[in-house]
């Protein structure tokens, strides 16, 4: 069965990435593409079409804030909902991400139901 | 010659006029009585008629009242019937609501179990995903931070020769500031070092269950071949993490059983230059 929605997960930690992928695998009709960092994320965005992006903030090479800024200035993807994943206490990063155009944030340690609910909400998928 | 008597006359010899007058009087009296009695009878009949009419009116009123009463009785019966139906409907709805609540609770439990399984799956996958010491230890630290919600932690390994527990890695705290624990001397009672030492010596995990959670929040012995080779110490948790949950305990069990082996395997693999043992050597060891 073909996926109805496409999601890009940008996260440098393999463990966090796997956690997100496992959580999102519970959403039917959602295909997940993984990227190691912001640059890899942009590469994947250049070659594909995505309905939602989940990105970590602290990443090597290109962080999540820069990625949000680049996505919002790209005419092709400027309207794609973005969820940033932040750590506790990084309130400034969270605010900055929202100012740059992120739609929502999730705080680590992540909980699968929270991730699923946020993606459902932004993609308007009924439970 | 004998004189024939007129009929109706007494035998006396009263004059005819006298007898006639008497008869007339009797007739008048009779008529008077007759009409008087007739009038009285009529009056009685009229009175009786009035009384009967009044009685009829009262009966009609009673009848109307009874009819109303009967109608209201029927309405009450209908209402009672309706109440019964509503009671049945209420019982049915309550039972549905209870069933729904049970399903919701069960669903929440399954959700929680699914999340636990997902976390354990990822943890077990990641813990064995690298045979480089640095990466293996980083994965263990990440598991503690990302899955358990540890803010400050250290991983101790035993130096069996020197009888010391030494920190090999830390998160949220400078590893250089984490104290080495001398196993030949008893640490100060109730200190974090004493709890770490006890965990190492007994092989029994320590989990603080106080509120707010005390430090160290957890000490997990790292087991390898029925020996304890180190201890994971979680000094404190993230602010929004108030207590350990069931899956944390399962993750601690997993780390206690596998983290020591992973670190030692990664070290030995590095020492061996990343070379796999020959099949012949393995066969010999399996025999």
Instruction: Give the pLDDT confidence of B72-127 residue by residue, as tens digits.
Output: 888 999 999 999 999 999 999 999 999 999 999 998 888 888 888 888 999 999 99
First to last CA, chain B: 188
Angle at B11 between CA B8 and CA B13, to 5 degrees: 105
Predicted local confidence at residue B114, as pLDDT: 86
Q: Are B218 and B233 in contact (CB under 8 A)?
A: yes
Q: Are A14 and B135 in contact (CB under 8 A)?
A: no
Among chain A residues, the shortest Cα distance to B110 is held by A113
Query: Residue B187: is its pLDDT beyond 80?
Result: no
Clarify whether residues B114 and B157 are in a common domain: no
3-class secondary-structure state, position A84: strand
Clarify whether residues B185 and B247 are in a common domain: yes
Clarify whether residues B110 and B160 are in a common domain: no
Q: Are A13 and A54 in contact (CB under 8 A)?
A: no
Clarify whether residues B209 and B245 are in a common domain: yes
Among the partner residues B118, B125, B146, nearest to A109 by beta-carbon distance: B146
Distances (CA, A) of B141 to A9, B99, B103, B229, B275: 22, 43, 37, 17, 26
In a domain, B11, yes or no: no
State how far the Cα of A97 lies from the Cα of A55, in Å rounded to an integer: 10
> Cα distance from A1 to chain B (closest Cα, Å)?
24
State how far the Cα of B29 lies from the Cα of B35, in Å rounded to an integer: 10
| Bond preceding residue A109 cis, omega within 30 of 0 | yes
Token couple for B109: 């439990």
Clarify whether residues B166 and B70 are in a common domain: no
Q: Which residues of A are less than 8 Å from B109 in CB distance?
A: none
Q: How many domains does one find in chain B?
A: 2
Domain boundary among B72, B100, B126: B126
State how far the Cα of A89 lies from the Cα of A86, in Å rounded to an integer: 9
Domain boundary among B103, B126, B149: B126
Name the band, by pLDDT with cuts 50, 70 and 90, for residue B1. very low
In a domain, B200, yes or no: yes
In a domain, B285, yes or no: no
Clarify whether residues B170 and B115 are in a common domain: no
Clarify whether residues B154 and B239 are in a common domain: yes
Domain boundary among B126, B146, B175: B126
Clarify whether residues B223 and B257 are in a common domain: yes
CB contact under 8 Å between A113 and B239, yes or no, is no
Which tens digit of pLDDT belongs to each residue from B16-37?
Answer: 888 888 889 899 999 999 999 9
Which tens digit of pLDDT belongs to each residue from A23-73?
Answer: 999 898 899 999 999 999 999 999 999 999 999 998 888 889 999 999 999
Which tens digit of pLDDT belongs to each residue from B248-261?
Answer: 999 999 999 999 99
State how far the Cα of A109 lies from the Cα of B121, in Å rounded to an integer: 16
Clarify whether residues B138 and B218 are in a common domain: yes
Among chain B residues, the shortest Cα distance to A23 is held by B118
In a domain, B16, yes or no: no
Alpha helices in chain A (DSSP H): 14-24, 38-47, 64-73, 91-100, 112-123
In a domain, B42, yes or no: yes
Interface residue of A9, A20, A21, A22 to substitute, partner B, most B CBs within 10 Å: A22
B39-58 per-residue burial string, b: 16 or more CB within 10 A, e: under 16: eeeeeeeeeeeeeeeeeeee
Q: Which residues of A are less than 8 Å from B125 in CB distance?
A: 18
Among chain A residues, the shortest Cα distance to B145 is held by A109
Domain that holds residue B231: 128-271
What string of H, E and C letters represents the secondary structure of B200-256? HHHCCCEECCCCCCCCCCEEEEEEECCEEEEEEEEEEECCCCCCCCHHHHHHHHHHH
Query: Residue B10: is its pLDDT beyond 90?
Result: no
Which tens digit of pLDDT belongs to each residue from B131-173?
Answer: 999 999 999 999 999 889 899 999 999 998 888 999 999 999 9
Which tens digit of pLDDT belongs to each residue from A95-105?
Answer: 888 999 999 99
In a domain, B177, yes or no: yes
CB contact under 8 Å between B149 and A109, yes or no, is yes
Q: Are A21 and A116 in contact (CB under 8 A)?
A: no
Query: Residue A76: is its pLDDT beyond 80?
Result: yes
ipTM score for this prediction: 0.78
In a domain, B28, yes or no: yes
Q: Which residues of B are less than 8 Å from A13 in CB distance?
A: 142, 146
3-class secondary-structure state, position A32: strand
The enclosing domain of B215 has a CATH number of 3.30.450.40
Q: Are B217 and B151 in contact (CB under 8 A)?
A: no
In a domain, B260, yes or no: yes
Clarify whether residues B138 and B259 are in a common domain: yes
Clarify whether residues B76 and B147 are in a common domain: no
DSSP state of B147: I
Among chain A residues, the shortest Cα distance to B123 is held by A15
Q: The pTM is what?
A: 0.71
Phi, psi of B89 (to 5 degrees): -65, -40
Q: Are B159 and B166 in contact (CB under 8 A)?
A: yes
Predicted local confidence at residue A88, as pLDDT: 67
Q: Which residues of A are less than 8 Å from B247 in CB distance?
A: none
Q: Which residues of B are less than 8 Å from A14 in CB distance?
A: 126, 129
Clarify whether residues B86 and B169 are in a common domain: no
Across the range B189-207, mean pLDDT stands at 91
The angle that helices A64-73 and A38-47 make with each other, rounded to 10 degrees, is 30
Phi, psi of B171 (to 5 degrees): -140, 130
């Amino acid at each position: 069965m073909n996926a109805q929605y496409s999601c890009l997960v940008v996260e440098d930690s393999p463990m966090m990435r796997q956690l997100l992928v496992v959580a999102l695998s519970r959403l039917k009709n959602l295909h997940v593409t993984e990227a190691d960092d912001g640059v890899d994320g942009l590469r994947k965005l250049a070659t594909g079409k995505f309905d939602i992006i989940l990105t970590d903030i602290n990443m090597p090479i290109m962080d999540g804030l820069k990625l949000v800024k680049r996505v919002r200035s790209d005419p092709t993807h400027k309207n794609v909902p973005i969820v940033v994943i932040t750590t506790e206490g990084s309130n400034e990063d969270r605010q900055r991400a929202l100012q740059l155009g992120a739609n929502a944030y999730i705080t680590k340690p992540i909980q699968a139901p929270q991730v699923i609910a946020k993606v459902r909400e932004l993609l308007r998928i009924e439970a | 010659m004998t004189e024939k008597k007129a009929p109706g006359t007494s035998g006396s010899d009263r004059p005819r006029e006298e007898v006639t007058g008497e008869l007339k009087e009797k007739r008048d009296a009779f008529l008077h009585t007759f009409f008087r009695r007739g009038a009285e009878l009529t009056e009685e009949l009229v009175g009786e008629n009035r009384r009967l009419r009044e009685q009829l009116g009262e009966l009609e009123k009673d009848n109307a009242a009874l009819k109303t009463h009967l109608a209201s009785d029927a309405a009450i019966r209908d209402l009672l019937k309706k109440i019964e139906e509503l009671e049945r409907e209420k019982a049915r709805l309550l039972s549905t609501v209870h069933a729904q609540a049970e399903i919701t609770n069960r669903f929440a439990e399954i959700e929680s179990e699914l999340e636990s399984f997902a976390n354990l799956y990822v943890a077990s996958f990641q813990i064995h995903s690298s045979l480089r010491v640095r990466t293996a230890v980083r994965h263990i630290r990440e598991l503690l931070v990302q899955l358990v919600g540890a803010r400050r932690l250290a991983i101790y390994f035993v130096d069996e020769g020197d009888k010391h527990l030494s920190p090999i890695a830390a998160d949220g705290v400078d590893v250089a500031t984490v104290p080495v624990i001398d196993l030949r001397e008893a640490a100060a009672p109730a200190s974090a070092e004493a709890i770490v030492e006890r965990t190492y010596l007994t092989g029994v995990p320590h989990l603080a269950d106080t509120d707010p959670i005390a430090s160290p929040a957890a000490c997990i012995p790292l087991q390898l071949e029925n020996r304890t080779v180190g201890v994971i110490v979680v000094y404190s948790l993230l602010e929004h993490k108030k207590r350990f949950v069931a899956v944390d305990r399962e993750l601690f069990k997993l780390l206690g059983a596998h983290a020591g082996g992973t670190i030692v395997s990664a070290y030995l693999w590095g020492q061996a230059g990343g070379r796999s043992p020959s099949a012949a050597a393995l066969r010999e060891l399996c025999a």
